[in-house]
Chain A
């Protein structure tokens, strides 16, 4: 016997996972002063990498690692453009998103034609945590997911503790507030930002992997459908605090889950309205709250 909101809440957590992973990654990278618009592309590349890796190896776990690696390498290419070639964050990010959209389409079609038209990946199965999943309500909502969601539950507090409770985190945030002042204190700004981008790409890649091999078990061109950009909005809404960003993602997961609820209740609402809802919601949230938020002052300003 399940409680009334148990299933929708479970779905909200599942739908929030990919966005939350990307958003926490972006929080880390923006704290070091880099605006990584390529987040959407990193998720897409991660989604494709996961399917191809899982298909080739026959193991979903290997697939997840391939997705993480693909996202990370993708973000490091962005690091090369912005940190080494000193390109503008927005331009480099836009170029990376174009590259990801075109590149994954080309690679996917090549993989399809090689495999004879059908690339299915072994899916990531949900793992039920013993004991914890027996807790009424919370057990179902939080502890009957696949491994990536559990990783997320650990990553959110870990990112918060690292950024705000360790001296290394203080140095990383110093690089984001003022790269010049940080450099004068002996902080290797470029290396900090490159490492942050590597981590962010890995998290976004995991988010993409979550979309492809946990949900659809195959790749679809453009399957991230703007989730990376939603994550960018969540970072502002969550005021660059991993805990708040994670909670905000859960709120959005709820909004996404609501559409299934409405459909089940037989409400006749256009599906486009539901698809636009997260974007309208994030614009509304930004309009209401952004004035009270404070981004790192060196954000998107290059190396000073």
Chain B
């Protein structure tokens, strides 16, 4: 089944429920008390203002990176490199953000995020160049670039970008002017979340309300047909790859400017891979991705809570995310089979006896 042949949204919901059920039954089997786990999940995800803030804070990079993945997939570009592009964006944001002292706050933050977008786009453009000039499949080049970029950033925080004190492998904090405003202290929620929502809106408009979006989706559905329609698939896909990288880079920039203030080696921590699950569960639709990102943000927030209170490892969240994605594949298959057998029954009924 092609990635761009989408099934209805209910399968995504069913897949998620199935995954959470599977995840909880594993926890019960592992001997955790069901009540404890459930209480920790709810408390960690939506229990109080702090928990809600934490859920949305964790949803922010997932949303931006999920949009990045979806924009690529829609155009048939299999960008698996969000992880590396996030680091490229974060590194670029820090490189610029460090020198923003004295610049008016909105301009400083905008420049920092613009640098992040450019960093991510530059990283993705390498893959685009390899794909459209050297025929290297982007599936592979983006994955390989992840490892290059992760090593590059861990070198940066030991070398050129290391803090002045030289104690830890991390950068100094970027200028206060470049930081995004906090939305609801004492929670960690920052303006990056609103920015991510706005990005989702822009992606929606781009994909479904502009000629460029039509071209992009046409290329994703069929390169040959798009070529006959007069679109240039390579150009469109090049654009989609760079935009995808820019969004992933922004996710890294927002993590720095909204949350950490600095660069360190494992800043992305797998967000780029989880984003693929977010994009697919969100049905590659910007609004669906908003929902999926919040659900996954809740999952990770409650996993952190469970680790504190129920002693359950946070890696369980990753397992649930993977199970949700697999459940989605199964649910899609069931939906497709149901619609096919329904169609056969209808056409049989229409035939004269």
Q: Which A residues have a C-beta under 8 Å from some C-beta of B?
A: 35, 37, 81, 84-88, 90-92, 94-99, 101-103, 105-106, 109-110, 225-226, 229-230, 232-233, 236, 270, 272-273, 275-276, 279-280, 282-283, 286-288, 290-291, 302
Contact = CB atoms under 8 A, between A and B. Distances in A.
Shortest 3 CB-CB distances between A and B: which pairs? A102-B318, A99-B322, A105-B315
Given A276-B147, A291-B135, A91 B325 contact: yes
Contact of A94 (B1, B159, B273, B330): B273
A270 B158 contact: yes
A47 B313 CA distance: 20
A87 B319 contact: no
Given A94-B273, A270-B155, 4 more contacts: A95-B329, A283-B141, A286-B141, A290-B134
Contacts of A279: 144-145, 147-148, 151
B30 A110 contact: yes
Given A229-B140, A287-B136, A106 B316 contact: yes
Interface in B1-27: 1-3
Given A81-B329, A87-B329, A283 B322 contact: no
B130 A102 contact: no
Interface stretch (B171-179, B201-209, B274-282, B341-349): B274-282
A232 B140 contact: yes
A146 to B, nearest CB: 27
Given A98-B277, A102-B317, A90 B78 contact: yes
A102 B140 contact: no
13 contacts: A37-B139, A81-B330, A92-B326, A105-B313, A105-B318, A106-B316, A106-B319, A109-B313, A229-B143, A236-B140, A270-B158, A279-B144, A283-B144
A132 to B, nearest CB: 36
B152 to A, nearest CB: 7
B117 interface: no
A275 B136 contact: no
Contacts of A91: 3, 276, 280, 325, 329
B334 to A, nearest CB: 9
A272 B136 contact: no
Interface in B242-269: none
B162 interface: no
Contacts of A103: 319, 322
Contacts of B276: 91, 94
